[in-house]
Amino acid sequence: MAITWPRLGRRLRAPAHLAGEAAVLVGVIGITLAFSSSDGSPNNGVVDPVAPVARFVPAPLVHFGWMGAALGKPVNVTYVPPVVVPTSPPATILITSINVHRPVEPVGVTSSGQMYQPKNLWDAGWYKYGPTPGAPGDAVIEGHAGYPNAPLLFARIGQLKSGDQIVIVLADGTHQTFLVQSNAVWRAGTSPPGLGEPYGPPMLTLITCTGPFDAQFKTYADRLVVEATYAGQS
């Protein structure tokens, strides 16, 4: 079973992953992204410089001489600082309210479109073909919920409340801060639109498994999606 992401548009997105659970599919600019499903064993697996703007509206006969000495008075002087777009990959995820402090591994997808799981069950997995956290678009990070009575990394993300802080530390040492906006449960095999979109305001989506657990097949029926808005860099 998989979640199909029909288009890039609004940003409610889909849950996913884990080795025994159903796959979560995502359509991102023609790329199908799926999260492999089990919550137990892993698969192997700019600066955009906006040039400073200085607009001078001179008085009549204004003359600017050497070193900017002006014979008239310029007005409407505006400076726009450069906009820095993060490009470094995420290295650590910090969610103090639920005691999460773990490394983040970059993961890709298999030939069938399933998202690889982190090699370490306690690590998070970042979809490396999508935006880095803090860059425009939706950065997607998955993590195992674990089995009943055997919780793993994202077992408690359903407890996150609106306004709770999520910090992603990038490899360059910068901290990208996000605030929880919402969470939603999606049935495995369904798909919210816009997961992993590479444009628009910076956002973060966390995904794990939830819902009824099938002990025979070690799968969960649903996916939990937590969405967070960007609060800035430090």
- Of 177, 150, 181, the C-alpha closest to 96 is 177
The tens digit of pLDDT for each residue in 13-69 reads 444 443 344 344 344 433 333 444 556 554 444 333 333 444 444 444 333 333 344
The residue type at 33: L
- Of 68, 72, 70, 69, the C-alpha closest to 60 is 72
- Which residue shows structure tokens 């600066």? 47
% helix, strand, coil for the chain, step of 5: 5, 40, 55
The tens digit of pLDDT for each residue in 168-194 reads 999 999 999 999 999 999 887 676 788
Residue 9 pLDDT: 37
List of domains in the chain = 19-44+86-233 (2.40.260.10)
H or E segment to which residue 180 belongs = strand 175-187
How many residues are listed for the chain in this entry?
234
Q: 101, 64 in Cβ contact below 8 A?
A: no
Starting at the edge strand that comes first in sequence, how are the strands of the sheet with 31-38 ordered? 19-28, 31-38, 114-115
